[in-house]
Amino acid sequence: MILHALPNLLSTVRLLLAGLFPFCPAQEWIWLVLAAGASDFLDGWIARRWHLESWQGGLLDAVADKLFVLSVLVTFVLAGKFSPWWVPGLLARDLTVAMIALYAFCRREWASFRKMEASVSGKLATAGQFLFFATVVLAPASIPSVFAVAVLFSFLAAFDYSRRFVLALRQRAAERAMPQPE
C-alpha cells in the first residue's frame, strides 16, 4: 500500500521543498535542489515501473515541479544570482504548457490537453533547469553557458508540446467529423 502512494508522496515532498527553499540559507540550496531533482526522477520512475501512473498523480507532479522551479528562480533573482530577464527563457516550456492548458480549458478541449504525456524534450528541459540551479550554487563562472543549454532545451520542449497539442486538436477534430455508426 505504501508503494502505491509513494510517487504522490515524493511529489508532495517537492511541494514542501518549494515552500522551504526561499527561507533556507544559501549553503543549504544545493541539498534542496538535489533532493527535489531526486524526488522528481524517483516519482516518475516508480510510477512507471510499478504501473502506478494516474492523471491526477501526473498533475501533482507537474504542479510540484513548477512551484519548485518558480521558488528557486525567484529566490535566485532576489539574491542577485542572475538577471530577472533570464527567467522567461528558462520557463519557455512551462509558459507554453500553461498557455496550452488555458486555451484547452477555455475552448473545452481539455481531452486534447490530457492526452499530452511527458516527452523526452520536456524531461530535457527539466534536467536543464536542475542543472542550471546546481550551476548557480556550485559553479557561478559556468552560469552563462549552462543557462544557454537550459534555455535551448526549454524552447525545444515548448515547440514540441505546441506541435503535439496541435496534432491532438486535429485528431479530435477528425474524430468528430467522422460519421457515427448507427
Q: Do 67 and 91 lie in a common domain?
A: no
Cα separation of 79 and 23, whole Å? 12
Q: Do 131 and 182 lie in a common domain?
A: yes
Domain count, the chain: 2
Q: Do 123 and 162 lie in a common domain?
A: yes
Instruction: Count the alpha carbons within 13 Å of 174 in the hemisphere toward its beta carbon.
Output: 6
Read off the DSSP letter of residue 80: T
Give the pLDDT confidence score for residue 112 in this predicted structure.
75
pLDDT (tens digit per residue) in 138-155: 999 999 999 999 999 999
Please report which confidence band the pLDDT of residue 3 belongs to, taking 50, 70 and 90 as the band edges.
Answer: low
Q: Do 122 and 146 lie in a common domain?
A: yes
pLDDT average, residue stretch 65-84 = 97
Give the pLDDT confidence score for residue 178 in this predicted structure.
82
Dump the DSSP string for 111-157: HHHHT----HHHHHHHHHHHHHHHHHHH-GGGHHHHHHHHHHHHHHH
Say if residues 7 and 46 touch (Cβ distance below 8 Å): yes
Helix (H, G, I), strand (E, B) or coil at 164: helix
Instruction: Among 37, 55, 81, give the residue marking a domain's end.
Output: 81
Give the pLDDT confidence score for residue 83 in this predicted structure.
95
Q: Which residue segment(s) compose the domain that 36 sits in?
A: 1-81
Please report which confidence band the pLDDT of residue 5 belongs to, taking 50, 70 and 90 as the band edges.
Answer: confident
Q: Do 91 and 126 lie in a common domain?
A: yes
pLDDT (tens digit per residue) in 86-130: 999 999 999 999 999 899 889 888 777 777 778 899 999 999 999
Instruction: Among 81, 104, 131, give the residue marking a domain's end.
Output: 81
